[in-house]
Structure 1
Amino acid sequence: MNEISLLEASRLSVAPMMDWTDRHCRAFHRAMSRRALLYTEMVTAAAILHGDCDRLLGFAEAEQPVALQIGGSDLRELAEAARIGGEWGYTEVNLNCGCPSDRVQSGCFGAVLMERPDLVAQGVRAMRTASSAEITVKCRIGVDDQDPEESLPRFLEAVAGSGVRRVTVHARKAWLQGLSPKENREVPPLDYDLVLRMKERFPELHISINGGVRTLAHAEHLLAQGLDGVMIGRAAYDQPWDILGDADLRIWAEPASLTGPEEAARAMIPHIEAHLASGGRLHQVTRHMLGLFAGRPGARGWRRILSEEANRPGAGVDVLLRALASVQTDRAAA
């Protein structure tokens, strides 16, 4: 994927989400949108250096455009992980400076790096030198007692000075003490206006916004205000058709890939069959599909059948088809 199309793809992206945005989730999301930028789960730089790269980094070419998100602060490890990511075919390697969990704090990466913009800049320079991929950053507006009006522009100035051209800003503070990771996604107030001011202050930066975006209409509104991109997390996972089904048409003015959620379900059959043939379990794919009919007649039956039956030994495509038939029956009765 060339630079221009990667910039275009980042107008709407699906956030990296631990335990969620694995290769099966990405295949499902890609079936609904040809254009949206997808991300891996966060992988630590150390894991890439010492772990099973096929399991951690493997992806299908059909998932492109797809970006790798890594976590870390050791300059050597970051550089080597970015180099490996580029060799595996990722067109973007994103440095996580926003995750607030205890684990990332103890390892000096994630949101705690908001307090160390100079270290982030050094890490980004090392990554850019080592890798063929574009290096980007995802951050918060600040942490703990930082004043975001001061901490965010200082951070953005540092990363821009290191050569980063694209940044995604989660428009909330992260409280490293006193709030759980889940609470950090919901409790700190959103400050979209601050992120909009940062776009005015750093016009050369491609800035995407993340946090609290629940609808495609909201994403369109934020783009219309002058932001370069919108990243959506939980809503894209919980209501995938509502976010991605019309995204190609509404964000990029291109024909939609599919006509409805039923077609999205059927589009996954070849992927499921290949996964089962390689020894995988049905649940490993369909767990990402539970929200496909969210808010529509038949959603309850769809979720129930997949939740109860997909994890049983020997479960196959027939379970998916039975769940789909349940949706159609409920829709006819509605």
Structure 2
Amino acid sequence: MSINQARRLAVAPMMDWTDRHCRAFHRALTTRALLYTEMVTAPAVLHGDRERLLGFDALEHPVALQLGGSDPGQLAEAAKIGQAFGYDEINLNVGCPSDRVQSGRFGACLMREPELVADCMAAIREAVSVPATVKCRIGVDDQDPAVSLFATVDACAAVGVEVFIVHARKAWLKGLSPKENRDVPPLDYALVRRLKRERPHLNISINGGIASMDAAEAHLAEIDGVKLDGVMLGRAAYHEPAILGQADRRLYGEAVADTDAFAALDRYRPYMAARLSEGVALPAMARHMLGLMHGRPGARAFRRILTVETIQPGAGLEVLDRAVEAVREAEAHRDEAA
């Protein structure tokens, strides 16, 4: 499967969430979706602990590295290192609204500097043979999104960039926190569809406020002759990861049964065992699974066991077994009562 086919569904890069353990867990739910790293700044790649920052398990493929920065030379060097690590795509963050990002002149504030973004992307493209892509907002602060989005996309397309993931909200860099920036600015899905209609040769994915597989399917449907290329899920995929178990069947048309939560844990288990043997702490992996049983009987007990018992000295996979058993018992009681 090509990476463009994979990007029909992507799980968004999310700081402090989409680390290598999270991605390995999500891969246990969907074999097809494109996974993204947390944003890593180009200076961190150049000067930091690369294995810690960039290391990943081969089972995560296809997986993209998201870089942050605004220095074309640094980004090119970091992209080259990312490709050498084996990433399938290098993505530039032009959407993150955090204070740290603003002070560093990267992330969403780059929406004000489309030519600089294009220079960065030209340097990345020159440095690597894997796809170089952009994740952006529709604008920042008082910009007119219909102007700022097209300016950024057109500048990058002029240097050969073909793939754009658009978070369909503005970022308000003055007056809103990063958390508020994920909810408060209104969504403008129509503008993203207009971008695809007017730039049909580009690969356009939509992101922002997409909370279910039904919504993902709706975004991928052809409307008035316009068909988006992909959907990116963020918080929904993290807080209710079980929805990813439907992706291979519903979005990729595979003749497979959905991956249920128990099957996903069985798939994830060898990965967890291998990391435990290397000295990785159990909570580092268990924290990404807390929402797996969302909406099921026993979900609260599942979360409590994974939160409380994984931090005990010597805790191992038997804790996971107890958490799973709590759900199975609760579901059995429900069925008996019915």
TM range (shorter): over 0.9
Aligned-residue CA RMSD (Å): 1.0
Kindly state the Cα deviation for residue 176 of structure 1 after the two structures are TM-superposed.
Answer: 0.4
Amino acid at match of 1:136: T
Partner Cα separation in structure 2 for residue 131 and residue 38 of structure 1 = 19
- For residues 273-312 of structure 1, the aligned pairs below 5 Å read 273-312=273-312
Kindly state the Cα deviation for residue 259 of structure 1 after the two structures are TM-superposed.
Answer: 4.1
Determine which of 131, 135, 138 is the counterpart of 2:132. 135
Determine which of 116, 124, 135 is the counterpart of 1:119. 116
- For residues 153-164 of structure 1, the aligned pairs below 5 Å read 153-164=150-161
- Compare 48-57 and 258-267 and name the one that shifted more: 258-267
- For residues 1-334 of structure 1, the aligned pairs below 5 Å read 5-225=2-222, 226-242=227-243, 244-256=244-256, 259-334=259-334
1:285-325: CA deviation from partner (whole Å, max 9, x where unpaired): 11000111101111111001001111222110000000000
Kindly state the Cα deviation for residue 258 of structure 1 after the two structures are TM-superposed.
Answer: 5.7
Kindly state the Cα deviation for residue 134 of structure 1 after the two structures are TM-superposed.
Answer: 1.1
Kindly state the Cα deviation for residue 39 of structure 1 after the two structures are TM-superposed.
Answer: 0.2
Kindly state the Cα deviation for residue 75 of structure 1 after the two structures are TM-superposed.
Answer: 1.2
Partner Cα separation in structure 1 for residue 280 and residue 257 of structure 2 = 27
Gaps (5+ residues) in structure 1? none
| 3-state SS of paired residue (1:221) | helix
Kindly state the Cα deviation for residue 154 of structure 1 after the two structures are TM-superposed.
Answer: 1.1
| 3-state SS of paired residue (2:133) | strand
Partner Cα separation in structure 2 for residue 106 and residue 152 of structure 1 = 22
Identity of aligned residues (%): 60
Kindly state the Cα deviation for residue 155 of structure 1 after the two structures are TM-superposed.
Answer: 1.1
Partner Cα separation in structure 1 for residue 40 and residue 87 of structure 2 = 13
Amino acid at match of 1:58: G
Partner Cα separation in structure 1 for residue 85 and residue 55 of structure 2 = 8
Kindly state the Cα deviation for residue 255 of structure 1 after the two structures are TM-superposed.
Answer: 3.6
TM-score, normalising length: structure 2: 0.96
Gaps (5+ residues) in structure 2? none
Change (3 A) 1:78 1:257: farther
Amino acid at match of 1:287: R
- Compare 222-231 and 259-268 and name the one that shifted more: 259-268
Partner Cα separation in structure 2 for residue 35 and residue 259 of structure 1 = 12
1:199-228: CA deviation from partner (whole Å, max 9, x where unpaired): 011111100000000000100000003111
Change (3 A) 1:32 1:265: same
Amino acid at match of 1:292: L
| 3-state SS of paired residue (1:268) | helix
Cα contact 1:34–1:257 (8 A) shared by 2? no
Partner Cα separation in structure 1 for residue 199 and residue 129 of structure 2 = 25
| 3-state SS of paired residue (1:32) | coil
Kindly state the Cα deviation for residue 133 of structure 1 after the two structures are TM-superposed.
Answer: 2.0
Cα contact 2:137–2:171 (8 A) shared by 1? yes
TM-score, normalising length: structure 1: 0.97
Amino acid at match of 1:254: E
User: Which stretches of structure 1, 4 residues or longer, exceed 2 Å deviation after superposition?
Assistant: 255-259
Cα contact 2:28–2:265 (8 A) shared by 1? no
Cα contact 1:98–1:110 (8 A) shared by 2? yes
Partner Cα separation in structure 2 for residue 333 and residue 154 of structure 1 = 58
Amino acid at match of 2:195: M
